[in-house]
Structure 1
Amino acid sequence: MSVVADNSANNGSHQVVLNVNGDASKKCDDSSNQDCVPLLQKLVAEVVGTYFLIFAGCASVVVNLDKDKVVTQPGISIVWGLTVMVLVYSVGHISGAHFNPAVTIAHATTKRFPLKQVPAYVIAQVVGATLASGTLRLIFNGKSDHFTGTLPGGSDLQSFVVEFIITFYLMFVISGVATDNRAIGELAGLAVGSTVLLNVMFAGPITGASMNPARSLGPAIVHNEYKGIWIYLVSPTLGAVAGTWAYNFIRYTNKPVREITKSASFLKGGEAE
């Protein structure tokens, strides 16, 4: 689900992060905080972030099923949105807070994320989602052992189209707030989290509102339930790629290309190659 490729030292709060790295900051490129962060630390942040995203979001689904719809559909939407928001602000400056293979791949297609880091990020995200799903299955066992994954509510075509549209919408917003230095980068977490909330609100009953291959694959692995899984692997990825390229098309600015490939937002996961 969520969110997100390269930093600019133009943001004052980000410069503080750069300074506290001590000697490591001396080796950093001034144009990007995340140049300072070793890949291992980024991967740990992605595993932990994806874990808590899937744990909180899927827990709201399980509790809602187990406790007579006490959470409600709007409540589930709020949980997903708020979780994305707080995690973006928590580790966005470390890993970019992708938590989503579709987001990582989309950024790579526009050269806003290093292509060589994509496999490692995707593996980290799937591991985090699988561990979270396993934890939930251990906690809610027996009669409460509900499937927390995503299943098509109607036809496969309907689910494919809905997942494409909502992921396109999500990635379009991410591209606007995270890759364009004319946007207010500090509000990126709020914007992305709100988009997730809105998408889950109306698309949840139709497809489960995955928008994230890892979100669907983790529970599928744990529960050995792969019905329609291809939809949740292919459609969000295509939607994310289309969303980021659509924003690039309308990005026109008088600033040189060198400037607009460096974002004022912390939501970029690494320096473009």
Structure 2
Amino acid sequence: MTGTFAIVFCGTGAIIIDQTSGGVVTHFGIAMIFGMIVMSMIYALGNVSGAHFNPAVSVAFTIARKFPAKQLLPYILSQLTGALLASIFLKLVFPHNTFLGATIPAGSDLQSFVIELVLTFFLMLTILKVATEGKMRAVFVSAAIGGVVGLEALFAGPISGASMNPARSLAPAVVSGHIHHLWIYLLAPVIGACLAVPCWKLLKGEISVLKTKRQIN
């Protein structure tokens, strides 16, 4: 809950403050803030909750059998609670802001759906790779994942909002009342994250085959 609260508070808060200040934060700044807060929370809370701040990631981890199915619902409820509390807090601080950092497609719904699916696919593939394979230090894991979030927010944010996280999109949409496009940001990240699981398993298989061939030679 704490990690998701921090991500929504800092990330969507940066969007709100950018609007309030006339663009002082900038799009680049917003993207970096999202990446940096994700990186910071993974480093700070990874050993507490496994750094599960995203329902789509938790679902994919469950499918990959890297997370207990019985804990999935409690984790998702905790993530949603943290996100909603952050948006409610921001609403109290910025009562006149219309969207509260909600993700709104700049183009068609289909365009943003595809973008969000692909973005989350690559994010989840990175998470599976760095978080489950080898013994990478926490600082490198958090930097890799935060870097992907910042990168994807930087180039795709102006079109789809680069949410990649159902909790991040649900909270400001519900609190602000702008739920018309919410289905995109609930479905696309979950589908994208789940599609990354078989791809990750395939890549692991290919790596094993290559290692075996090298050993034989």
The normalised TM-score by structure 1 is: 0.73
State the 1:244 CA deviation: 2.5
| 1:244 paired residue number | 197
**Percent identical:** 42
Is this contact kept in 1: 2:27–2:154, CA < 8 A? Answer: yes
| 1:116 paired residue number | 70
State the 1:148 CA deviation: 1.4
| 2:187 paired residue number | 234
> Counterparts of 1:72 and 1:162 in 2: how far apart (Å)?
22
Give the aligned residue type for 1:192: I
Is this contact kept in 2: 1:153–1:207, CA < 8 A? Answer: yes
CA distances 1:15-52 after superposition (whole Å, capped 9, x unpaired): xxxxxxxxxxxxxxxxxxxxxxxxxxxxxxxx111101
User: Any residues of structure 2 matched to 1:94-243 within 5 Å, and which?
Assistant: 94-142=48-96, 144-181=97-134, 184-186=136-138, 187-243=140-196
Matched, 1:83 2:50: no
State the 1:145 CA deviation: 4.5
> Counterparts of 2:201 and 2:131 in 1: how far apart (Å)?
12
- Cα distance change on mapping 1:147 and 1:242 into 2, 3 Å: same
Is this contact kept in 2: 1:151–1:208, CA < 8 A? Answer: yes
Is this contact kept in 1: 2:56–2:189, CA < 8 A? Answer: yes
Give the aligned residue type for 1:95: S
Is this contact kept in 2: 1:65–1:146, CA < 8 A? Answer: no
> Counterparts of 1:121 and 1:162 in 2: how far apart (Å)?
26
> Counterparts of 1:146 and 1:63 in 2: how far apart (Å)?
12
> Counterparts of 1:214 and 1:104 in 2: how far apart (Å)?
12
> Counterparts of 1:162 and 1:185 in 2: how far apart (Å)?
31
Bigger share in helix: 2
Give the aligned residue type for 1:221: V
Deviates further, 246-255 or 162-171: 246-255
Is this contact kept in 1: 2:103–2:169, CA < 8 A? Answer: yes
> Counterparts of 1:209 and 1:238 in 2: how far apart (Å)?
15
| 2:6 paired residue number | 52
**Which ranges in structure 2 are unaligned for 5 or more consecutive residues?**
210-217
Give the aligned residue type for 1:98: H
Is this contact kept in 2: 1:178–1:185, CA < 8 A? Answer: no
What's the secondary structure of 1:117's corresponding residue? helix
Matched, 1:63 2:17: yes
Give the aligned residue type for 2:182: I
State the 1:247 CA deviation: 1.2
* CA-atom RMSD in angstroms: 1.4
| 1:92 paired residue number | 46
What's the secondary structure of 1:251's corresponding residue? helix
> Counterparts of 2:125 and 2:26 in 1: how far apart (Å)?
28
